[in-house]
Amino acid sequence: MREKATVLGQELLGTTFQNPILLAAGTCGFGEEVSEVMELDRLGGIVTKSVTLEPRAGNPAPRVGEFRAGMVNSVGLANPGAESVRRDRLPWLRDRVRKARVLVSVAGHTPDEFLEVVSILDDADGFLGFEINLSCPNDTRRGGLPFALDPGEAARVMQGVRARTERPLLAKLAPNTPDFGPVVEAVQDAGADGITLVNTLPGLVLDPETGEPIIGAGAGGMSGPALRAVGVHAVWRASHHARVPLVGVGGVARGTDAIQYLLAGASLVQVGSASFWDPRSAGRVVKWLEEYVGRHAVENVSKLVGTARLPGSRGTPQEADD
Ligand code: SIN
């Protein structure tokens, strides 16, 4: 799978991503859904919809609502379940996606559910590795907060899946993490090969006329432009603790947004809700990056990673020390 890296090529997770731009989980289904409107093989990769052990019908409609600063969603992890994904979805990805790297997002209510999903999918073809969704704000672990908000629980899930697969594993974290150090260290010690930051931020948008929420489930996950500063900050904070590559996501719609994530320390960048407004957004971000690296005579895009110029080079002195 390893090919010679071009100027946009990124070598990580044991392979070459032809460029650093991926479609985020939940924005492209299992690829086929968006293949009519965009060329997936122009991208660095895609992350599938999150897969759970059993099929899930999802939350009541409307599942997505817009407001001035972005959107709020509560889909409830609707998906056909692991057996069906293995039988009906992965073969399409194997046959039709050649250059973009595919990561399968995995979710569950319990640590056992994650590892059962991984076990069912692991020996199928059509994908590179897994993104372990520890941070869905709409469908939390039974009786508690998302796994990502509890470093011990997050590590338990990652240790379990690490024992079931040799494929690359990303751990996807939450934006409302009070301190990124403990959870970043916990998931990488438990075997994560990379860390994705951030999932959506818990949010509630009310219709002032009716007093009702604009989406069927009530509260949901907020994304869009307002999430970008939160995501870039999370990547930068995580970079103080990470020994593994970081993947940035949140509010990316333009090339300049992706550059911010690279500068903050991300090696790959995912495009999320911008794809709902325009499915071609991710392709346009790739084109813009090509133009940017040419204009700045950057030898390879990896040279930009983690080069943000903050006061005290990696942050304020006390932040850099902790
Ligand atoms: C959902 O399916 O409700 C959102 C999934 C996520 O944010 O992880």
Q: How far apart are CA 116 and CA 126, in angstroms?
A: 19
Average per-residue pLDDT in the chain? 94
Give 139-192 pLDDT, tens digit per residue.
Answer: 766 667 899 999 999 999 999 999 999 999 999 999 999 999 999 999 999 999
Percent of the chain having pLDDT more than 70? 94
Give 5-24 pLDDT, tens digit per residue.
Answer: 699 999 999 999 999 999 99
Atom of ligand 1 nearest to the CA of 200: 7
Q: Are 46 and 92 in contact (CB under 8 A)?
A: no
Out of 3.20.20.70, 3.40.190.10, 2.40.240.10, 3.90.1650.10, the CATH code matching 4-321 is: 3.20.20.70
Active-site annotation, residues = 136
The model's pTM is 0.95
User: Coil, helix or strand for 257?
Assistant: helix
- For 60, phi then psi, to 5°, come to -65, 150
Ligand 1 centroid vs 137 CA: distance in angstroms? 7
Ligand 1 centroid vs 236 CA: distance in angstroms? 24
Tokens of 321: 């020390």
**Ligand 1, residues at Cβ distance < 6 Å:** 26, 50, 73-77, 133, 136, 138-139, 199-200, 221
Atom of ligand 1 nearest to the CA of 26: 5
What are the domain boundaries of the chain?
4-321
Q: Are 56 and 87 in contact (CB under 8 A)?
A: no
Ligand 1 centroid vs 234 CA: distance in angstroms? 19
Return the amino acid letter for 51: V
Beta bridge partners of 67: 70
